[in-house]
Structure 1
Amino acid sequence: MNNGQGGVKVKTGSPPKRLMFSSFLLFFVILANQVGTGLSGFQRIIFQSAGHDAWISVCMAGAWSHLTVWVMLRTLKLNPNMDLYEVHKDLYGRYVGGIINALIMLYMLTAVIVISRNYVEMVQTWIFPDLPTWLLSAFLAMLITYGVLGGIRIVVGIAFISAILTIWLIIFLYFPIRYAEWTHLTPIMEASISELAQGMVKMSLTIVGFEILMFVYPFIRNKHRAPLSAHLGLFATTVIYVAVMLVTIVYFSPGQLSKTVWATFSLFKIVAFPFLERFEYVAISIWMLVVLPNLMMYMWAASKGIKRIFGWKQKYALYTFALILVVVSIFFKTRLQINILNDIFSKAALTIVFGYPWVLYAAVLFKQHFHKKREGI
């Protein structure tokens, strides 16, 4: 396709069939990519803004996500064989599109670093306080590299397996529910609209992940079924977050919740079996299966960006980014530093994931209208 800016040509052919996957797997891609390290401790942050109405903020964030995915799908439907990088080149031209693509690629790489560093901190806090950051980061980098080298179908397959192998953890919410104080939820709607909105905005770091749709869409085999799978994945994620938020509110007192950093794993502390006392250790170990699809998806998208922008082989970009992941993770040592990293990423995610798709859709529509008008259609 020619975009009329310096003769830039963008390939619009479908990817090889061997790289494509069924649309129903998009449900697991969205689910696995949204449920990550954020689920382990998002409650305190939302509670600080919206109080015991924090679950309403989570519902609002879920609704906002559905609207954003709707506009993403509208854009992708107009360019069914292009990912976001190719849409940018076609829409903005080689140079402007290349700059925007570089920013998107940097966002993807930052997402890998944020998720990885938060998981490493989780392991250091709960299980191995003396574990060197570089060691676990290097181990994660090797797993990510191995998975992404297998291609998009392998990464999607890992997302599917991850969802199947970890969804059972929700069952253990039954244990804290036995000690629930349901009066903690009343009075409903005590928080103001602005407080609920603040809570919704703070969910951005936790609920992002569905933007991966803009990169995997060309690889979906039955694209007409993609909207249903994407929205079902979003709905399932929202239900999980709302359920965890509700259980957390009714289990902890307001004073406890405002000080509990890892609320989800604190809920697991009361799970006990005759043969297993510290179930939270098992949960944190299994949580690696939860974060791996996140890391692989974002790393795949970031390394794909290098290929699109500079024409490098994707595997060389992958090796470089894996090294960057290990090196950069070492510099974030304290909780304060990690919080600063999370805050910066959260603000970027709010703009890129929830705001920019609307601008992009408007730009694509404007360009189509301009071309039709110029051609006299």
Structure 2
Amino acid sequence: MFTFETGNMILLTLSPTFQDAKQDAWISFLLAAILGTLIVFVSSKAALLYPGKTLIEYSKLIFGKWLGILIVIVYLIQWYSVIADILREFAEFTITILLPTTPLWVLVLTMLLLLIYITYSGGIEGIGRCSEVFGPIILLSVFILLILSVSIFNYKNFLPVFSDTGFVPILKGTLHPLSFLGESVMMLMLLSFMDQPNKGPKRAVWGIAAASCLVSTVAIWVLLILGPEIASKLRHPAFDAVSYVTVMDFIQNLEILAVLVWLLSVFIKLSLYFFLANYGTAQLLHIKNWRKLIWVTSAFFFVLAVIFPNPTYTYIFDNTIWIYFALPVNMVGIPLLLWFVGSLRKKYQANH
């Protein structure tokens, strides 16, 4: 959960949050952290009602066959669209920062081959073990950048607190980070793969809390270096803030650390979505060997990432569909319904 959330949140949520909440963006991130931990807690509790069963299986037990299938399809649409969107983002960011003359399809294909390898050979356990290695690297990299930046902080950028913005803009600013933290709703699926599912809710909450704290700290760091006005105008303010870090004209060009943080995190995020999309589709279609689906879905994701999402689509997806549909429906509404109706069903079955 920690590795999954960190990179993309740092890269993509800072600028829109600064646009809405200005110098109080850090308050928006803290509010999003509280709400995000509630989402992952509810999702984990809902999944815990039917241990050993995935969302594909217990949604039918809770809501009946057809309504259950409809809920599964809603989540599959989210998983499929997110994979295409992040693959495109990964390729465009890499071209902009590192490899300006590389064709987009080459980068998409490279990442897809890595996803196929880890998902086919390692499955969910392989992704988990990668995460155990990448998580501490991400934490250490961000910590190093924060320590080296202390000398260039401008603490006046913090002021005034609250009075310039007010409650509504701060609340609006929480929507972007919360929509990313809400992706932890995948615990509805992941809990069924745990050896000790009872520990799932606690571990997931700690993971999301740690990721939220780190991203909130990075938001404060960007605020102290760039100020709210500049940060709101840049597409990737965290990455631009790194270029200001220099120690005695000797330690410079630390952007590679920022790229490392993002790449490692995005790889885990894509791997998890890729696994869930294949496993979930196979269960829905009653395909016994879910790995066979990987070759079909990979071709589909490649075409979707290379051809379909242009910048306009990505903007509309991130700022409208994602925030005003996926957040209230996929991340809040359905998990609450699953938990509430599932609990009632369990009580009814226990009494009869």
Pairwise CA distance, 1:356 = 2.0
Pairwise CA distance, 1:129 = 2.4
Pairwise CA distance, 1:114 = 2.0
Instruction: Indicate yes or no: 2:211 matched with 1:233.
Output: no
Q: TM-score, normalised by structure 2?
A: 0.90
Instruction: Give the secondary-structure state (helix, strand or coil) at the position aligned to 2:53.
Output: coil
Instruction: Indicate yes or no: 2:240 matched with 1:266.
Output: yes
Residues 113-154 of structure 1, C-alpha deviations (whole Å, 9 max, x = no match) = 222221212112212223222111111111011111122111
Determine the structure 2 residue equivalent to 1:326. 302
Q: Percent identity?
A: 20
CA shift in 2, pair 1:128/1:333, >3 Å: farther
Determine the structure 1 residue equivalent to 2:322. 345
Pairwise CA distance, 1:112 = 1.4
Structure 1: distance between partners of 2:138 and 2:350 = 50
Pairwise CA distance, 1:366 = 3.2
Determine the structure 2 residue equivalent to 1:291. 266
Instruction: Give the secondary-structure state (helix, strand or coil) at the position aligned to 2:233.
Output: coil
Contact 1:332/1:338 (8 A) holds in 2: no
Q: Which runs of 5+ in 2 are unaligned?
A: none
Residues 179-214 of structure 1, C-alpha deviations (whole Å, 9 max, x = no match) = 111121122222322212111112234323322221
Q: Which residue of 188, 199, 207 maps to 1:214?
A: 188
Structure 2: distance between partners of 1:131 and 1:48 = 32
Pairwise CA distance, 1:275 = 7.5
Determine the structure 2 residue equivalent to 1:165. 137
Instruction: Indicate yes or no: 2:335 matched with 1:363.
Output: no
Contact 1:39/1:264 (8 A) holds in 2: yes
Point out the more displaced range, 326-335 or 234-243.
326-335
Determine the structure 1 residue equivalent to 2:40. 69
Query: Whose RCO is larger (CA < 8 A, sep 6+)?
Result: 2
For residues 125-164 of structure 1, the aligned pairs below 5 Å read 125-149=96-120, 150-164=122-136
Q: Which runs of 5+ in 1 are unaligned?
A: 1-29
Residues 160-196 of structure 1, C-alpha deviations (whole Å, 9 max, x = no match) = 1111232221121233332111121122222322212
User: C-alpha root-mean-square deviation of aligned residues, in Å?
Assistant: 2.1
Structure 1: distance between partners of 2:107 and 2:296 = 18
Structure 2: distance between partners of 1:131 and 1:176 = 32
Instruction: Give the secondary-structure state (helix, strand or coil) at the position aligned to 1:82.
Output: coil
Structure 1: distance between partners of 2:330 and 2:170 = 21
Structure 1: distance between partners of 2:314 and 2:46 = 34
Determine the structure 2 residue equivalent to 1:176. 149
Residues 300-343 of structure 1, C-alpha deviations (whole Å, 9 max, x = no match) = 11111111110123123222221122111122575433222323
Structure 2: distance between partners of 1:212 and 1:333 = 23
Instruction: Indicate yes or no: 2:30 matched with 1:59.
Output: yes
Whichever residue aligns with residue 213 of structure 1, its letter is: M
Contact 2:33/2:178 (8 A) holds in 1: no
Structure 2: distance between partners of 1:152 and 1:79 = 19
Pairwise CA distance, 1:286 = 5.5
Pairwise CA distance, 1:67 = 1.5
Pairwise CA distance, 1:95 = 2.6
Pairwise CA distance, 1:240 = 0.4
Residues 17-58 of structure 1, C-alpha deviations (whole Å, 9 max, x = no match) = xxxxxxxxxxxxx11111232311321100111111111111
Determine the structure 2 residue equivalent to 1:24. none
Point out the more displaced range, 114-123 or 275-284.
275-284
Instruction: Indicate yes or no: 2:73 matched with 1:98.
Output: no
Residues 203-227 of structure 1, C-alpha deviations (whole Å, 9 max, x = no match) = 2343233222211212222233323
Instruction: Return the structure number with greater helix share.
Output: 2
